[in-house]
Amino acid sequence: MISTILIISGALWAIYYLIGLYNETYWKKRGVKFYMKHKVFGPMGEFLTSKRALFEIFDDIYKMYPKEPAVGVGSMLTPALYVKDPLNVQHVLSLDFNSFNHRGFETNEGDQLGDNVLFMNGNRWKIMRQNMTPLFTATKLKSMYYILDRSATDFVNYLNQKPELLKKDIFHTLTTFCNAAIGAAVFGVGNESIFESPFLAMALDSMKPSTIRNIQFAIASLNDRLFKLSGIKIFKKHEEFFISAIKQVIRKREAENVKKHDFADLCVGLINKGTLKDHDTGLELLPTDEILAAQAFFFFLAGSEPSASAIFVTLVELGMNPEPLRRVHEEIDNAFEKYNDTMTYDTVNEMEYLDMVYNEALRMYPPIGFLTRQCVKDTVLPNGNIRVSKGTKIFTPIFEVHHDSTLFSDPEVFNPDRFSRENRHKLPNNMYMPFGEGKRLCIGVRYATLQVKAGLVHLLRNFTVKTHVGKGGIKYSKQNMQVRPDNVNIELIPRSLKN
- Write the DSSP assignment of 96-127 as a string of letters: TTTTS-B-S--PPTT-GGG-STTT--HHHHHH
Q: Is residue 419 part of a domain?
A: yes
Number of domains composing the chain? 1
Contacts of 400 (CB under 8 A, 6+ apart): 55, 58, 59, 62, 63, 84, 370
Q: Does the pLDDT at position 31 exceed 70?
A: yes
Centre a 10 Å sphere on the Cβ of residue 158 and count the other Cβ atoms it contains. 17
CATH number of the domain to which 457 belongs: 1.10.630.10
Q: What is the pLDDT of residue 182?
A: 84
Q: What is the pLDDT of residue 336?
A: 95
State whether the Cα torsion 116-449-406-61 is positive or negative.
Answer: negative
375 is in an annotated binding site: no
Q: Rounded distance, CA 428 to CA 86, Å? A: 9
**Contact of 186 with 263, CB cutoff 8 Å:** yes
Phi, psi of 147 (to 5 degrees): -70, -45
Is residue 377 helix, strand or coil?
coil
Q: What is the average pLDDT score of the chain?
A: 89
How distant, in Å, are the alpha carbons of 263, 345, 389 from that of 137? 12, 13, 37
Q: Does the pLDDT at position 498 exceed 60?
A: no
The conformational region for residue 277 under phi > 0 = left, psi -120 to 50 = alpha, else beta, is beta
State which residues form the domain around 77. 1-494
Q: Does the pLDDT at position 176 exceed 90?
A: no
Q: Is residue 163 part of a domain?
A: yes
Instruction: DSSP letter for 417, please.
Output: G
Is residue 415 helix, strand or coil?
coil
Q: Is residue 343 part of a domain?
A: yes
Mean pLDDT lowest among 171-185, 383-397, 415-429: 171-185
Q: Rounded distance, CA 118 to CA 301, Å? A: 11
Q: How confident is the model at residue 499 (pLDDT cuts 50, 70, 90)?
A: very low
Q: Is residue 361 part of a domain?
A: yes
**Contact of 294 with 236, CB cutoff 8 Å:** no
What's the whole-model pTM score?
Answer: 0.92
Q: Is residue 203 part of a domain?
A: yes
Centre a 10 Å sphere on the Cβ of residue 472 and count the other Cβ atoms it contains. 7
Kindly report each contact of residues 24-32 with a partner whose C-beta sits within 8 Å and lies 24 or more positions away, as own/partner. 24/72, 26/72, 26/79, 27/72, 27/79, 27/81, 30/72, 30/386, 30/387, 31/384, 31/385, 31/386, 32/68, 32/70, 32/71, 32/72, 32/81, 32/384, 32/386
Indicate the residue type of 51.
K
Is residue 322 helix, strand or coil?
helix
Centre a 10 Å sphere on the Cβ of residue 348 and count the other Cβ atoms it contains. 21
Centre a 10 Å sphere on the Cβ of residue 98 and count the other Cβ atoms it contains. 9
CA dihedral 74, 77, 82, 87 (to 10 degrees): 150
Q: Does the pLDDT at position 471 exceed 50?
A: yes
Mean pLDDT lowest among 27-36, 368-377, 437-446: 437-446
Q: Is residue 26 part of a domain?
A: yes
Q: 274-321: per-residue pLDDT in tens?
A: 899 888 888 889 999 999 999 988 888 888 888 999 999 999 999 999
Centre a 10 Å sphere on the Cβ of residue 272 and count the other Cβ atoms it contains. 9
Looking at per-residue confidence, does 45 or 498 come out higher? 45
How distant, in Å, are the alpha carbons of 11, 216, 239, 246, 296 from that of 300? 47, 21, 14, 11, 6
Q: Is residue 499 part of a domain?
A: no
Q: What is the pLDDT of residue 191?
A: 53
How distant, in Å, are the alpha carbons of 57, 200, 291, 407 from that of 220? 18, 26, 22, 32
Q: Is residue 123 part of a domain?
A: yes
Q: 419-437: per-residue pLDDT in tens?
A: 999 998 889 988 999 999 9
